[in-house]
């Protein structure tokens, strides 16, 4: 007996408010660790999610995807729905070891001007992804193929949970060599401002350390 086809529109949110472009532009220049600390130690996605190539960096509003395990049809739908600059944040229902994303999808996402991919699962075509230059952050590489089940239920732009971090559509997502941090949209402007201040403070501290001053004295440790 065939599974009835799921109406994708019924679990897709087409429009949502995104973090503003100016905040994204400033956040693009800031380290993930600084944003995490400036926000009160928030938003760290699982450390197993790493850039496929060391130089990859991404920054933009989240477009969230809750995909059935072992299936990448909802990722194709997400590419079609996304706007330039959006970062796809994909939850794969705990089924990590499939190649959910590869050369063709990367090329399609780059052609649309998307901001990147963060996936709590694996991808494939790692060498080609680096050559294309579209930033992909994943748990690793896996050649195991995926299906496309039109009866399987997924969600676009519903909140997803990665470890203890809730990611909502429109939140600020930043990734670099150290990892990925998510800042809630409503807090993004304030956190980015605080992160800028933190960077300035740390630059001054580094000068003191380089001049030979003790960190114990600088921070008042005992």
Residue ranges of the binding site: 102-105, 124-125
Dihedral sign, CA of 118, 132, 85, 65?
Answer: negative
Which residues contribute to the annotated binding site for Mg(2+)? Answer: 124-125
Are 109 and 117 a contacting pair, CB within 8 Å? Answer: yes
Provide the Cα torsion 104, 20, 55, 44; round to 10°: -100
H-helix or E-strand containing 156?
strand 155-156
- Residue 69 DSSP symbol: T
The Cα 188–Cα 157 span in angstroms is: 18
Token pair 């401002």: residue = 193
Which residues contribute to the annotated binding site for substrate? Answer: 102-105
The Cα 12–Cα 113 span in angstroms is: 21
- Residue 30 DSSP symbol: S
Bridge partners (DSSP) listed for residue 160: 167
């Amino acid at each position: 007996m065939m599974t009835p086809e799921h109406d994708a529109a019924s679990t897709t949110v087409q429009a949502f408010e995104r973090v503003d472009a100016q905040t994204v532009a400033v956040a693009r220049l800031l380290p993930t660790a600084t944003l995490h600390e400036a926000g009160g130690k928030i938003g760290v996605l699982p450390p197993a999610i790493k850039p496929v190539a060391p130089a990859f960096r991404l920054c933009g509003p989240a477009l969230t995807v809750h995909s059935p395990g072992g299936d990448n049809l909802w990722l194709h739908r997400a590419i079609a729905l996304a706007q330039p600059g959006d970062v796809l944040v994909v939850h794969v229902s705990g089924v990590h070891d499939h190649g959910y994303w590869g050369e063709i999808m990367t090329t399609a996402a780059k052609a649309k001007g998307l901001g990147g991919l963060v996936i709590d699962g694996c991808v494939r075509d790692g060498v080609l992804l680096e050559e294309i230059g579209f930033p992909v952050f994943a748990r690793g590489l896996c050649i195991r193929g995926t299906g496309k089940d039109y009866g399987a239920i997924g969600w676009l732009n519903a909140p997803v949970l990665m470890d203890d971090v809730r990611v909502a559509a429109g939140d600020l997502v930043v990734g670099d060599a150290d990892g990925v941090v998510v800042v809630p949209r409503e807090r993004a402007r304030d956190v980015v401002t605080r992160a800028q201040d933190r960077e300035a403070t740390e630059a001054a501290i580094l000068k003191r350390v380089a001049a030979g001053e003790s960190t114990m004295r600088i921070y008042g440790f005992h």
